[in-house]
Amino acid sequence: MIYDQILVRYGEISTKGRNRKAFTKKLRENILMTLKDFSNIKISATRDRLHIYLNGDNGEEALKRLANVFGIQSYSPVVKTGKDMEEINEAALNLVQKSFSEGQTFKVSARRADKTFDLDTNEINYAVGSHVLKNTEGLTVNVKNPDIKLNVEIRKEGAYLSSEIYPGAAGMPAGASGKAMLMLSGGLDSPVAGYLTMKRGVEIEAVHFHSPPFTSERAKQKVIDLAKSLSAFSGSIKLHVVPFTEIQQTVHSQVPENYTMTSTRRMMLRITEKLREQHEGLGIVTGESLGQVASQTLESMFAINEVTSTPVLRPLIAMDKLDIIDIAKEIGTHDISILPYEDCCTVFTPPAPKTKPKREKIQFYESFVDFESLINKAVEETETLVIEGGLLQTEQDNFDELL
């Protein structure tokens, strides 16, 4: 079927009062970014809707990609025909049959902006309705609560038909609420933390600590793949890969074993803080959740968090592991995260890390080494990759069933 345009409804952003203009502008930019290889599209935004004019570009593909764009409540493809009843009837039948399943009900809802059109709204409803009914076995009419609502709008330049409504990704347009650095490991949690933060409109740049040869190229590739999955929600994502071997080895030779994990985390946070400053972020995101492991007790966070005054966002802090896993599956990161290649923390984890580390002690242990120079060196040698082209696998599959 040839779609003329896609109608996008905003939902949450339309309730944001004075910020609405900025939100709409961002959403429009993000849609353009998602569809950047579409050379003909034009977008116009009104108070509570946005119209994507396809001008011959691939509507089916656009529908798929829009499923990942935050800030969209729902959206509908629109078919344009000439103002000829035969043409309108045919298009109406095609649209209904596309989403129809046995036993469903429907209703036609006509509007007539062009008052010179031969038929009035009741007559259009009747004409289109009877054509569709006659040609679709098992379909009945229900005016109050139909499964399929077919909208027909007659305007000066033509007739517009729509019936399908796709659920959007909701949330806020990415980038509408500043930028934060996501500490991205190869595990299950941090990609989910990144996703949830992006959903609130925050732009994300990922930071990963890599310790070759203790961690393999495949472990790095895994993180690149995770970043790629996240890029489905923003068009593209920057990934900063920090060489961490020297610092990690120094920590292990200088700090008592049960404090190495606390110290390692402090070093990661100090480096992330410097990168945040360089890239003008306003926050740091981690996948920490209270009580999961030794590093994630409140005492531990207290000792680690000391090295920065930047807000550290922990969207998973109170979530259950099973709920986190569900989200990971939904966003397509689960299967990548469970691959066995270990990250630097797993390799260096001491047998009995301190669950209640003390700030004074860790400060004392770290005071014998010039970590600041090592940190600056790691920041200087950080490699930045721009990752794009992510497609939401799982939702994509569901989506194909919907289409």
Query: Side-chain half-sphere of 191: how many Cα atoms within 13 Å?
Result: 29
Q: How far is residue 113's CA from residue 121's CA, in Å, rounded to a whole number?
A: 10
- List, in order, residues 6 or more apart from 99 with CB less than 8 Å away: 148, 163, 164
Q: Which is nearer to ligand ATP, 6 or 207 (CB)?
A: 207
99 binds, among ligand ATP, Mg ion, none (CB under 5 to 8 A by kind): none
Work out whether 185 is an interface residue with Mg ion (CB under 5 A).
yes
CA-nearest of 178, 211, 208 to 191 is 208
Q: Which is nearer to ligand ATP, 4 or 288 (CB)?
A: 288
CA-nearest of 174, 278, 238 to 386 is 238
Backbone torsions φ then ψ of 317, nearest 5 degrees: -50, -40
Which of 71, 173, 175, 187: binder of Mg ion (CB under 5 A)? 187
Q: Which is nearer to ligand ATP, 151 or 264 (CB)?
A: 264
Work out whether 209 is an interface residue with ligand ATP (CB under 6 A).
yes
Query: Side-chain half-sphere of 347: how many Cα atoms within 13 Å?
Result: 21
Provide, rounded to whole angstroms, the least separation between the CB of residue 193 and ligand ATP. 6
Considering only 73-81, 125-133, 207-215, 394-402, which stretch makes contact with ligand ATP by CB under 6 A? Answer: 207-215
Site for ligand ATP in 167-206 (CB under 6 A): 183-185, 187-190
373 vs 18, 69, 247, 262, 388, CA distance in Å? 46, 41, 10, 19, 33
Contacts of residues 97-103 at CB distance under 8 Å and 24 or more positions apart, as own/partner, are: 97/136, 98/1, 98/164, 98/403, 99/148, 99/163, 99/164, 100/136, 100/139, 100/148, 102/138, 103/138
Q: What single-letter DSSP state applies at residue 385?
A: E
66 binds, among Mg ion, ligand ATP, none (CB under 5 to 8 A by kind): none
Work out whether 337 is an interface residue with Mg ion (CB under 5 A).
no
184 binds, among ligand ATP, Mg ion, none (CB under 5 to 8 A by kind): ligand ATP
Q: Which is nearer to Mg ion, 171 or 187 (CB)?
A: 187
288 binds, among Mg ion, ligand ATP, none (CB under 5 to 8 A by kind): ligand ATP
Q: How far is residue 218's CA from residue 379's CA, in Å, rounded to a whole number?
A: 22
Site for ligand ATP in 325-364 (CB under 6 A): 343-345
Q: How far is residue 181's CA from residue 207's CA, in Å, rounded to a whole number?
A: 7
79 vs 112, 170, 214, 335, CA distance in Å? 16, 24, 57, 38
Q: Which is nearer to ligand ATP, 124 or 239 (CB)?
A: 239
344 binds, among Mg ion, ligand ATP, none (CB under 5 to 8 A by kind): ligand ATP
Work out whether 295 is an interface residue with ligand ATP (CB under 6 A).
yes
Closest residue to ligand ATP, based on beta-carbon distance: 187
- Return the H-helix or E-strand segment holding 277: helix 260-278
Q: Which is nearer to ligand ATP, 131 or 222 (CB)?
A: 222
Work out whether 239 is an interface residue with ligand ATP (CB under 6 A).
no
292 binds, among ligand ATP, Mg ion, none (CB under 5 to 8 A by kind): ligand ATP
Binding site for ligand ATP (CB under 6 A): 183-185, 187-190, 207-209, 286-288, 292-293, 295-296, 343-345
